[in-house]
Amino acid sequence: MSERPAAPFGRRLLTVTANDPLGSYRVLRVADPDGPPPAAGQFAMLAAAERWGAGEDERPYLPRAFSYARFARDEAHFLLEDVGPGTRRLCELGEGDGLWLLGPLGQGFCESQDGRRALLVGGGVGIAPLAIWQDELAAAGQAARVLLGFRDSGHAEGAALLDGVSGEAGQAGHVALATDDGSVGHHGFVTDLLSVDLDRDSDATVYACGPPPMLEAVRALCSERGVPAQLALEAGMACGFGACYGCVIPAREGYLRVCLDGPVIAAERLDVVGAHGGADG
């Protein structure tokens, strides 16, 4: 892992450059020419500059934490899904709208130092940090195997966020897809694909992000086979930098704050990935 970029003190007001549909998701793009480029796996706290609240008194929402999906040409990309009033407001933003951003925050992925191949495993909206990690690995001359899982074909279109991945292809080269309803690729879970892949060649480091049951299955599969894994977790956050203790999770050595000690945490530090340790999608 490269030295972690430090976020400028305080949030900054940025301008939305685009908000494009991607199947059942949206890709929010924001101009950030003065912010430090994030490391893969880091996140930002986002809030709309206007109408960020609900009720008659417009009581403000807390900022929402989103992993960086890409950072290129001074532009940050985030993968969104409308799952509630806060994410719906972010999905409504258009070109020229203002966005408050605090980031980059947290700990990112760490490149394997023992020559193991990289195996990227994502589920739903949790594919976001794998896209920027794929970019970093490619820049270092490493081609990564990619396994992605989604609910259905509409969500599977989000696979196109990763380079060289089509949401219409079930399997192509270094990529394999799975859907819960069998509409694209393997009919079942992405962890089914992971089990087969590791049985074939366990000389890998697994990098994963997705909903809690998926991450727990990844952790268990890798533990059984002695395969190192790095899990990008998510938890409810209010601040994003460790002050509120709202994202605490149990670990083998005590408790960890996902925003500060993670969101990327080595699987060996966890006995289990709990209900609030993953990215819902």
For 209-248, the pLDDT digits (tens) are 999 999 999 999 999 999 999 999 988 888 888 888 889 9
Residue 112: inside a domain, yes or no?
no
Number of domain units in the chain: 2
Under DSSP, the state recorded for 107 is B
If asked whether residues 247 and 200 sit together in one domain, one would say: yes
Share of the chain above pLDDT 90, in %: 77
Q: How far apart are the first and last CA of the chain?
A: 26
Q: How confident is the model at residue 112 (pLDDT cuts 50, 70, 90)?
A: confident
If asked whether residues 143 and 227 sit together in one domain, one would say: yes
What confidence tens digit (pLDDT) does each residue in 49-101 have?
999 988 777 788 999 999 999 999 999 999 999 999 999 999 999 999 999 99
Q: Return the structure tokens found at 261.
A: 């000690």
If asked whether residues 264 and 144 sit together in one domain, one would say: yes
Q: Which residues contact 33 (CB under 8 A, 6 or more apart)?
A: 74
If asked whether residues 145 and 257 sit together in one domain, one would say: yes
If asked whether residues 168 and 91 sit together in one domain, one would say: no
If asked whether residues 30 and 52 sit together in one domain, one would say: yes
Neighbouring C-beta atoms of residue 10, cutoff 10 Å: 7
Residue 89: inside a domain, yes or no?
yes
If asked whether residues 36 and 90 sit together in one domain, one would say: yes
Report the amino acid identity of residue 198: L
Last residue of a domain, one of 45, 75, 105: 105
Task: Identify the H or E element spanning 122.
Answer: strand 117-123
Can you give the residue range of the structural domain that contains 129? 117-269
Q: CA dihedral defined by 4, 10, 68, 40, rounded to 10 degrees?
A: 0
Please state, in angstroms and rounded to a whole number, the distance separating the CA atoms of residues 170 and 256.
37
